[in-house]
Structure 1
Amino acid sequence: MTMSRLNPVSLPLLLVLTSVFCGYLPESERETLNSLLRVMLQSVNPIEGPPNPSVHIALRLASDHHLPTEVLLLQQLKMTAVEKVKHGENFSSGLVALYTLAMAASCHNPTDVSYKGERINLVEILQEKLTKEIEHIGKTTFPLSNYYQVSLDVLTLCVMDAEFSQDFVQILIDAVMNDKFTYDSEFSVDTGAVAALALRCVNDRITNMHISNALNYILEQILRRIMDDGLIGNLYSTGLAMQVIPTNTNTDTH
């Protein structure tokens, strides 16, 4: 399976590893990372399908760059984003969040994305998408997409220092405290990890006891999923979870 065929909203482990370890790997592991980067570079091919914003984020976070490929992918992302909005194509809130982060990773203003004279504001679109997610939760108790994407939406708006209402934060707090990240009796570590990242970012901006309590609660849930082999949940959720676990936590004891 080529990288471009992976669901970009899932933030594959490959991308998380790049963001966490790039520039900090021992020499013995650098070739492994380089091979992963080559896979991502080779995936930038219109024939393989739509561009993957997660790939672009990972390439921008890497210490080694192939600028022509990154520029090409950025142009593909701009074109695709504008076309999706222009033609009313499926553009989930989580995907809008990733496109927003991808633009920002290239120091491109996500509030002014243009292609062939058409301009869109991804941050504004994300705010509208998240509002609809919350409205759907109010009616059905479930988001239009899923809580992973809702968490990613809140995280993105916070990282971009964009305006967001208290409703955006409260819906995430309620989801955490009411165990909405459990599917078929199984806690979703990756959803919890993204929610924790979002709550941590928001908590840095807005000191609030309810936010702190929700953050502590979700961290406890994640810590309970540390297995004897060091994985947290599973192979794919471990990279995300490692970004939210306190650095003074000794995972070897769990």
Structure 2
Amino acid sequence: MALWWPVWAIMSQFLFVPVHLCDIPSGNSRLIESVNLKLLRATLDDVSKEANPSVYLGLRLSRDHNLRLETRYLKKLKNNVETITSSSQKGTSEKPSTGILALHLMALTSACDNLGAQQRKKIIAQLTLELKEEKKNIVTNNRPKSNYFQYSLGILALCVAKKKVDVHIINKLLNAEKDKKFVHAETTTVDTEAVAGMAFMCLKRSDLYTTELRGQLSTAVESVKQKILDSQNTDGSLGNIYSTGLAVQFLSALETKDAQTCSKATEALLEAIKQGKFSNPMMMSQIMPVLHGKSYLDVANVDCTLESDNLFISPVSVLPELPNGGVSINVQLVVEGPSGQSITHDIHVPSQSSLLDILETAQKQNSNFRYEKMDSLYGPYLTSVNGVKSSTAASTYWQLLKDPNISLVEGIADYKPGDGERIILRLSKCRK
């Protein structure tokens, strides 16, 4: 999840402040400001799209602001909330997920907008009910209705909004951490660990729970910390580069930090930013708190009285497309369906094409290939290949791999294969 950094005059003020172990090293102000401005510009892109609460949340957790654009985006976000709450009450459409409700609640909590109090109450009531449904599903099916990432995010959102969470709901998350349920394909899901860890920390610091429960929460925080420390790769990333932002948020919120882990992780984030790996607004919004020495726990104490209004964005202009010199690449697209058979398609596309471009080209050129996708806050994701749909009930999904067996961490709109790459679409089953 990205933000903008202060101008030089303001930056100089921070040179005399003691450096915290997870802080971004000095000398990166221009790089961070560029990410800030990219995220701010995302609020101007495609006015027909719904507001992304994670983008607004990232902007609010920056030290620097463009208050006019933030206010404009908040108005759009509140329209989302009206649609979500009214449609749910009428039962006219599919209920929003726990994660969507949680992000909306955290966004509204960070807004310092007294006029939105009624909307916050509606979201809180709806999120509370949704978490109860998640808990019921854990009891009956040994997993949440959505997943543990969203379940953790829902608990965290209620906590930073200073609302008491049902102890039975908390215990299910504690048990999942203890039983090592936050895994995918036998690998620890660092982003889930990080969000659960922040939820545990928030609950532990609250005076709404017993001493015994706070002791259990402390133990869980230490468990999360160790798993995240163990997940560090040689390049400094935690899990993968896209889970590193949330992991550093967790580490930065700890009372006792691991200096070496934090330093290497922040260096990895900065290097990834330089390489242009954070172009997705959702991913930028998750690293934004890190770039400003904050975490989602800071939502509970946003101070609007001293906010600077010092970010300026030039009028949006259409940048000319860079010529690729007619260079094309060849990508092999391999479909592995439920029968175990594989079908390979050779696809020629311009260089720098995304996997989504490749899927679209394959569908146009081959009558025996078709796909379907669904939009999300993270961008589009693959839901069906050749008529075989992923299924929540059956816990199946279309996994994206780079040959021979490397799972892609980017989505179909963000990953850009190189010449000669072999991309595998595999129908896989989630681990319960």
Q: TM-score, normalised by structure 2?
A: 0.50
Give distance in 2, aligned partners of 1:48 and 1:64: 26
- Residues 60, 110 of structure 2: 8 Å contact kept: yes
**Cα deviation 1:111-152 (Å, max 9, x = unaligned):** 5129xxxxx611111111111111111111111111011111
Structural mapping, 1:152-231, within 5 Å? 152-205=153-206, 206=209, 207=211, 208=213, 209-231=215-237
The residue that corresponds to 1:94 in the other structure is: 99
Residue aligning to 2:257: 247
Q: Which has the larger radius of gyration?
A: 2
The structure whose residues are more often helix, as a share, is 1
* SS of residue in 2 equivalent to 1:112: helix
Q: Give me the whole-angstrom Cα distance separating, in 2, the residues matched to 1:238 and 1:149.
A: 18
State the shift of 1:196 in Å: 0.6
- Residue pair 1:111, 1:124 contacting (<8 A) in 2 also: no
TM-score, normalised on structure 1?
0.83
Alignment-derived partner of residue 31 in structure 2: 32
Distance across 1 between alignment mates of 2:56 and 2:249: 19
Partner of 1:6: none
Once the two structures are TM-superposed, the CA of residue 27 in structure 1 deviates from its matched residue by 6.0
The one of 231, 234, 242 equivalent to 1:236 is 242
C-alpha deviation, 1:220, in angstroms: 1.4
Aligned to 1:147: 148
d(CA) in 2 for partners of 1:253, 1:38: 25
Q: In the superposition, relative to structure 1, how do residues 121 and 32 fare at CA in structure 2: closer, same or farther (>3 Å)?
A: same
1 or 2 for the larger relative contact order (CA 8 Å, sep ≥6)? 2
| Alpha-carbon separation, structure 2, partners of 1:250 and 1:29 | 19
Q: In the TM superposition, what is the alpha-carbon distance from 1:108 to its structure 2 partner?
A: 2.6
Separation in 2, partners of 1:33, 1:48: 28
- CA positional deviation for 1:223: 1.2
Identity %: 30
Residues 9-30 of structure 1, C-alpha deviation per residue, up to 9 Å, x if partnerless? Answer: xxx2x36x98xxx976566322
Listed as ranges, the gaps of 5+ residues in structure 1 are: 1-11, 115-119
- Structure 2, unmatched stretches of 5+, are 6-10, 15-22, 266-432
Deviations 1:132-187 (A, max 9, x none): 11111111111111101111111111111102211121011011011110111011
